[in-house]
């Protein structure tokens, strides 16, 4: 069977305007809670899309670490490709693929660095090995062998053996402030339900149904 024949129908239920919250953050939090309750693997995993100075898009999967009315927060090395892209163009898109629930959420907005105190609080909550890995890895840069990477990890483990591991000055978080959020629910016969929230000048949200 060719890959063009791989398909399935979406029958878990529709999405109706009357059932949506007027606030997209509340709607997202509800869907995230349901994804967690359903036992989905990595329910906070999201694709992060950025664009470099040449207009080349790039995507990678990271974990959502906080969501509030302020926006969606993730953490990274500031030397990483995504952080370098955002330093030149802070427009960003996030995507949550909750396949088992036949749902997707797409977010478009702008990213701003979170305060250092917020980043430090989260960094210190991470397992020790994750803290050491942040120091050891020069994210997105070439590394000749895995053995070299592990040696850098061992060196950091020895360096910080006698005390707390400080927040690296090259590591922190971004808060994505959304301008649009789309909620997608699979439907039979490819007639999916899509609702898009668009931020207005007064920070209220307009909601419209999109054709599948």
The 10 Å Cβ neighbour count of residue 125 is 10
40 labeled binding residue: no
197 labeled binding residue: no
63 labeled binding residue: yes
9 labeled binding residue: yes
65 labeled binding residue: yes
- The set of long-range contacts for 186-195, using a CB threshold of 8 Å and a minimum separation of 24, is 186/10, 186/11, 186/12, 186/102, 186/103, 187/10, 187/14, 187/212, 188/9, 188/10, 188/11, 189/9, 192/10, 193/14, 193/15, 193/16, 195/15, 195/17, 195/20
Whole-number Å distance between alpha carbons of 86 and 140: 14
130 labeled binding residue: yes
194 labeled binding residue: yes
Whole-number Å distance between alpha carbons of 198 and 71: 14
- The active-site residue, picked from 141, 190, 199, 209, is 190
61 labeled binding residue: yes
Whole-number Å distance between alpha carbons of 130 and 165: 11
126 labeled binding residue: yes
176 labeled binding residue: no
Whole-number Å distance between alpha carbons of 204 and 196: 13
Residue 190 is among the residues annotated as catalytic for this protein: yes
Positions annotated as catalytic residues are 190
Residue ranges for the binding site?
A: 7-10, 60-65, 75-76, 81-82, 104, 122, 126, 130, 139-140, 184, 190-192, 194
Task: Specify binding-site residues for FMN.
Answer: 60-65, 75-76, 81-82, 104, 139-140, 184, 194
């Amino acid at each position: 069977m060719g890959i063009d024949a791989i398909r399935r129908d979406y029958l878990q239920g529709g999405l109706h305007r009357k059932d949506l919250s007027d606030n997209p953050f509340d709607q997202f939090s509800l869907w995230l809670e349901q994804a967690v309750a359903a036992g989905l693997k990595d329910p906070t995993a999201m694709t992060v899309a950025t664009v470099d100075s040449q207009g080349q898009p790039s995507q990678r999967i990271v974990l959502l670490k906080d969501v509030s009315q302020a926006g969606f927060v993730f953490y990274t090395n500031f030397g990483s490709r995504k952080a370098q892209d955002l330093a030149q163009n802070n427009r960003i898109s996030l995507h949550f693929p909750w396949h088992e629930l036949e749902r997707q959420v797409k977010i478009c907005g702008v990213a701003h660095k979170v305060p250092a105190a917020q980043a430090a609080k989260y960094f210190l909550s991470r397992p020790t090995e994750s803290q050491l890995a942040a120091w050891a890895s020069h994210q997105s840069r070439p590394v000749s062998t895995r053995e070299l990477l592990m040696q850098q990890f061992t060196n950091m483990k020895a360096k910080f053996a006698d005390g707390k591991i400080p927040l690296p000055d090259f590591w922190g978080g971004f808060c994505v402030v959304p301008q649009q959020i789309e909620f997608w629910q699979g439907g039979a016969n490819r007639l999916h339900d899509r609702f898009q929230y668009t931020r207005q000048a007064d920070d209220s949200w307009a909601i419209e149904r999109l054709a599948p």
